[in-house]
Structure 1
Amino acid sequence: MFWKTPLLSVTKTETPLNTPISDLTFTVFDTETTGFAVGAQDRMIEIGAVQVKNKEVQEAETFQMHVNPNRNIPKEITELTGISNETIEHAPTSLEAIQSFIDFNKKTNSAIWVGHYVSFDLLVLKKELQRHQYRIEIPTTIDTLDLIGYLSPSKIMHDLENYASQFGTRIYSRHEALGDALTTAHLFCDLLYHLENRGKYTYADLLDISDLSKRNIQF
């Protein structure tokens, strides 16, 4: 397939492995879609993100954008997310939304992305970009599921709200991209403190716990 020049290069810096986690800036993000078949007929309809600095959620530094999927939104998705065909009628394209998301990352100088079941969100971005014949360099990504698996191997649930409840994390509006990003960000910060109690303080520790080898989505 012919590829155009990469859309934008996300901030790529050589972070020393001994960097304390408290010195890192993270972008916690989430997407909403018309369904799970994002490699076929389903499309992104919203993307949201928030920054984490010094192991604290920066609620003043958020990003949210609806996306026009160029297809009807199923009734059950509207009931779940509150996003209707009217909501996205004049919304930006997925390409415009992803570019704005990358600009948000560059503005805040974040080079690490975090998500809950982040492989799905990365796949959403990949497929949307492929439809426009674009690609980008994806930075290091951290999945909260990997951190939970390290801290509590017996927990096998995938649902964000269940995990947040078990860890005593504040829960925001569910199935809204920004709301889920905020919930994930607070859960991520809670997990970082638990990791610290296990003697995990550095960027290297975080990478060691994160099972990046299984995340083989090539951009």
Structure 2
Amino acid sequence: MDAETRRFRKLTSCFALALVLVYVTSNSSQADSAVDQALAAMSGTLDVKSQPYFNKGQLSGCTLVFDAITQDWNYRQGGFLKISGNVCNNLGANLKVVVLEIDPNEPTLGLKPSAPSRAYLIDDNLKTNLATLRGTPPSDTPGALFSIFEVSPTLDMVLDGLRANKLTIAFNSKGGDTDIQLPLQLDVQEVTQSGERVRSNKAKSDFANCLTALGNSFR
């Protein structure tokens, strides 16, 4: 099991435990309503972090790691999804999207892996990087799709996203044609249980510093 898989499972486990208390303090109908309200309050970006990638002791990539919750009106009639993943720049440009279906009727939220078959970025002009997709090698993370793109235009889209404080990821579900759009707010450091978003520019600053160091390493 790789480090990202362990981190992903820890995040989803902690999220489930934070809401399971609703079930032990409420009756069934009240619990369902309370969980829906809690999920709605937390919907959106949960956190974004910058993580450098090292290979054989050398800096070889820069990664934005994210977690989010969104409602799916395309395939699940407003059902909630837990989304995690990363956008990485190294010799190419990688996008990893991990999708879990949330079942609010189960005390542990029934986090069911549901990997997309297509994922990509959208810029502010509604252009995508899908035409530069090189491949989708298998991932050992449950519910994940790993996509490799050419560096251009993906890197420019990420840099534009840093400046605009927003990066939009799109993905499909159940092999469908319609894509779910997930706008990430890149300054969200964490979300409290009440749904309050704690904001910081640390992830953006750390990622920019990583890109600078990565560029210098090739000189």
Q: Normalising to structure 1: TM-score of the pair?
A: 0.29
Structure with greater contact order relative to length (CA < 8 Å, sep ≥ 6): 1
Max Rg structure: 2
Q: Normalising to structure 2: TM-score of the pair?
A: 0.29
Larger helix proportion, structure 1 or 2?
1
Larger strand proportion, structure 1 or 2?
2
